[in-house]
Amino acid sequence: MSIKAWPDRRLTLPKPPLWQCPRCGHRFVTKNLWHSCVRVSLATHFRGKPPDRKRTFDRWLQAARVCGPTIAYAQKTRITIQARVRFAGAVVRVGHLDATLWLRRRVTHPLLDRVEDFGRIGYVHHFRLTSPGDIDTELKALMCEAHQVGTQELKAAR
């Protein structure tokens, strides 16, 4: 058998199904993982905010969906975007959308606001977005890089 015929086991091993919380319906990798366990409508986050916040978020979520299966959950103070695990999110401010990406490495971008360092599990990057056009090709590429983190296909980089 040629070595080429060997399947890449890292990509073909089935992953266990996500656990669904019976109370809020949100899905998680680990059973009984701590979470805020509230059902909030997405619309709540945009009430009283300029329409551009919603348009920008819609584009942000669309950029995530292009990368692969994606679920968005509205929580009390933020919206989370996950594949198997959370990899992106947003907090709707009056003046801008605080859009986040969880990446294994530190990156730079003109709209980067701040970076939270979580050690070996990576960095949460906050981008200050004010209109859908802010989501450029670079951010779209970073979104797909984050989505890979969300599908747990990448090992910890350090």
Q: Which stretch binds Zn ion (CB under 5 A): 30-38, 45-53, 86-94, 132-140?
A: 30-38
CB of 29 to Zn ion, least distance (A): 14
Q: Give Cα separations from 81 to 26, 40, 63 (angstroms).
A: 11, 14, 11
Cα-trace Rg, the chain: 17
CB of 146 to Zn ion, least distance (A): 23
Residues 86-125: x/- map of binding to Zn ion (CB under 5 A)?
Answer: ----------------------------------------
Cα 154 to its chain centre, rounded Å, is: 15
Q: Does 23 bind Zn ion (CB under 5 A)?
A: yes
CB of 94 to Zn ion, least distance (A): 29
- Closer to Zn ion at the Cβ: 24 or 85? 24
Residues 34-73: x/- map of binding to Zn ion (CB under 5 A)?
Answer: ---x------------------------------------
Q: Does 29 bind Zn ion (CB under 5 A)?
A: no
Q: Which stretch binds Zn ion (CB under 5 A): 10-18, 19-27, 44-52, 82-90?
A: 19-27
Q: In 39-84, where does DSSP find H-type helix?
A: 51-67
Q: Does 21 bind Zn ion (CB under 5 A)?
A: yes
CB of 12 to Zn ion, least distance (A): 31
Binding residues for Zn ion, rule: CB under 5 A, are: 21, 23-24, 37
